Structure 1
Amino acid sequence: MRKSLIASIGVLAMSTTALTACSNTEKDPERYPDKYVNTELEYQSSFSDIVKIMKSYFTTERDAPTPTFDLPVHVMTSQQLLSEQQDVVYRLGHSSVIMKLDGQLVMADPVFSDRASPVQWAGPKRFHKTPISLEDLPQIDVVIISHDHYDHLDKASVKALVDKVNHFVVPLKVGDYLVKWGVPKNKVTELAWWESHNVNGITYTLTPTQHFSGRGLTDRDSTLWGSWVINSQQANVFFSGDSGYFGGFAEIGEKYGPFDFTMIETGAYNKLWSQIHMFPEQSVQAHIDVKGKVMMPIHNSTFDLSMHDWHEPMNRALEISQERGVTMVSPEIGQRLEIHNPMPVNQWWNQ
């Protein structure tokens, strides 16, 4: 497990407008700079920072780095998704979700590979199977991507979804990866922060986060990252992607809130990278800042990406949400959850 975590560290060390992906040589340099930057800080990690992280991985003692029991997983079917009449959400694992909104299937950050890594022989390995296979998925109307890290942008999954997805909506320059992997250019729309694109009556708006991008040692911050506001006729939904806590959440809440449902990053945090990943108390505050009604923690319970126990994010998020008067939901992997009729909390992670 430690070797898998170290491998993941090596990876990480490295007005409405809709534009389809094209080669970088054809792009406006002001819109497509060599490097993107955060709104409130410039996140940098030095070699010494990487050494500190690696040392912490070797020395931190944990009671439960991975589950000691089989996590509950609800098997999903294509017919189930196609016949669904309500606005619903299903957790597929980590930050991968699939939603039915206004009768359309929308998927966020689909990662179906066994490892969140550039290779499948090393790197963080998933704790559970996916509730539905790529082969069994029905036609998906829209896929949104938050950023290009391996636990959010999975090459194998994208290649398998080329013919199953009608349209991809992604941050600037992320579309180049998709086109390289076989997605037709006319099926890809790239957005900058605060830009929107409407697909079949649902509006997708890319909003800022405080994070970074890169899939190797030489492409740091070369693609944009962000969160997503999804506004359908019946529901207003927020998907946080990855982020440190920052003032942008309040700005998103003012511009686009309130939200019926939020999916907020809650996991893989540590003081060594606190600028770009939130602690659970910050995740709950981010939900409050965007004016969310119901919060579902994501970015946890699938991959071992930090030094905390695997179940700690959910326990802390539940405790803090109850203290703050926030309605939190915790569906099991693959379990059906109605956006407008949230189920009581089930502490499935504490078996």
Structure 2
Amino acid sequence: MAWQNPWYDAALAHHTPEGFRNPEPELRQPGDLQRWRRERKADHLPLPPQAGYPAFIARWYQESDLGGDDDRIWWLGHAAVLMRLNRRYILIDPALSARASPLPFAGPQRKTPAPLHIAQLPHLDVVLISHNHYDHLDRPTVKRIARHFPDAQFVVPLGMGTWCRKRGVRHVTERDWWQSIDIAGVTLTAVPARHWSMRTFWDRNRSLWCGWVVRNQNVNFWFSGDSGYSENLLEIAERLGPFNLAALPIGAYAPKWFMRGQHMDPDQAVRLWQAIGRPLTLPIHWGVFELADDPLDEPPAALAQAMQSAGEMDSRFVPWRIGTSRSLRNSDSDVS
């Protein structure tokens, strides 16, 4: 018997009887994946950073300092983000292993070190996952969390609860787009993203993908997760904004003809940032794994060019070093 979506709601445009979908049209055509693979192999892409990997690491990486007790956000590289709110720790998309792959010996390899290890955290209260791709949902990291912090609460999109429980997670809550949960004074809301899901050859789009809005009395943070650009994303700001903090993707966008339906490029990220009111924004989804044709050092340069082309000189949307943090008491200062 064919698999049927147990959460299916015919009134919701992103639901199907077989799983989930984007409301936007599918931009990829049959044969596009094979074409991309042929082209990147012929052109020997992606290229290394212009100055080489050691120089890139020296420029863009540092170990994380978890000192203090103020509300703070750390970028852990790629899409991994750590927040401390109300003295509680929230970890988002923690892919901290050596590869973004089901195999320990093959697949996209980490090019910059993880700036911290799970065991370094003083405690961990909440883990948010945006979707089930290997660069966002990392089995070894999840198992380490379950072992070190068995009381941590995982909040995930629909369809990911069983996977988490099989890896030792004791407390897991699934949410559909626009559904929320309150945990110790922090409201967590799953919001739309333009993406897809797949972990094996048999489960394409059987689990949902999402972004997250994290809100307490002082911080209103939109973590976009993986997403192609869509005017539909503006509804998130309309319904849950204004935001004073965001994380928007700027990498893994090349070639644009192939990636545009699932990853926005820096020009689109700047346009979205302007539309949501120019909050302090952490550029994510770059600097660690070579998932597309853009070199590791291209996204920050492309973001600077996109800001200049848009007539923006604002320091609230500039690249951060992997491992750095920013106090949320004053979101325009105190970087460490």
Answer whether TM exceeds 0.5 for this pair.
yes
Asked if structure 1 preserves the Cα contact closer than 8 Å seen for 2:4 and 2:18, the reply is: no
1:100, 1:258 → 2: CA distance?
Answer: 20
Deviations 1:313-351 (A, max 9, x none): 1111122224342421332121221233335999xxxxx
Deviations 1:194-247 (A, max 9, x none): 111111010011110111000122211010001111111111111010111002
AA at the equivalent of 1:181: R
1:74 Cα shift?
A: 2.7
Asked if structure 2 preserves the Cα contact closer than 8 Å seen for 1:329 and 1:344, the reply is: no
What residue is the counterpart of 1:56 in the other structure?
39
SS at match of 1:288: helix
1:34 Cα shift?
A: 2.6
What residue is the counterpart of 1:131 in the other structure?
115
1:289, 1:60 → 2: CA distance?
Answer: 36
TM-score between the two structures when normalised by the length of structure 1: 0.83
> Where does 1:1-351 land on structure 2 (aligned, <5 Å)?
27-30=6-9, 33-42=17-26, 46=30, 48-61=31-44, 64-66=47-49, 67-70=52-55, 71-72=57-58, 73-76=61-64, 80-81=66-67, 84-163=68-147, 164=149, 166-184=152-170, 187-270=171-254, 271=256, 272-322=258-308, 323-325=310-312, 326=314, 327-339=316-328, 340-343=330-333
AA at the equivalent of 1:244: G
Asked if structure 2 preserves the Cα contact closer than 8 Å seen for 1:65 and 1:308, the reply is: no
1:94 Cα shift?
A: 0.6
Bigger shift: residues 160-169 or 238-247:
160-169
Could you tell me which runs of 5 or more consecutive residues in structure 1 were left unpaired when the two chains were aligned: 1-23, 347-351
SS at match of 2:119: coil
Kindly tell me: are residues 64 and 127 of structure 1, through their superposed partners in 2, closer, same or farther at Cα, counting changes over 3 Å? same
SS at match of 1:314: helix
Q: How many residues align?
A: 316
SS at match of 2:290: coil
Could you tell me which runs of 5 or more consecutive residues in structure 2 were left unpaired when the two chains were aligned: 10-14
Kindly tell me: are residues 203 and 146 of structure 1, through their superposed partners in 2, closer, same or farther at Cα, counting changes over 3 Å? same
2:74, 2:335 → 1: CA distance?
Answer: 15
1:136 Cα shift?
A: 2.0
2:324, 2:198 → 1: CA distance?
Answer: 32
What residue is the counterpart of 2:12 in the other structure?
none
Asked if structure 2 preserves the Cα contact closer than 8 Å seen for 1:148 and 1:213, the reply is: yes
AA at the equivalent of 2:37: M
2:311, 2:209 → 1: CA distance?
Answer: 29
Among all aligned residue pairs of Structure 1 and Structure 2, give the percentage whose two residues are the same amino acid. 33
2:292, 2:127 → 1: CA distance?
Answer: 27
1:56 Cα shift?
A: 1.7
Bigger shift: residues 167-176 or 329-338:
329-338
Q: RMSD across aligned C-alpha pairs, in angstroms?
A: 2.4
- Runs of 4 or more off by more than 6 Å in structure 1? none
SS at match of 1:217: coil
1:251, 1:294 → 2: CA distance?
Answer: 19
2:22, 2:133 → 1: CA distance?
Answer: 16
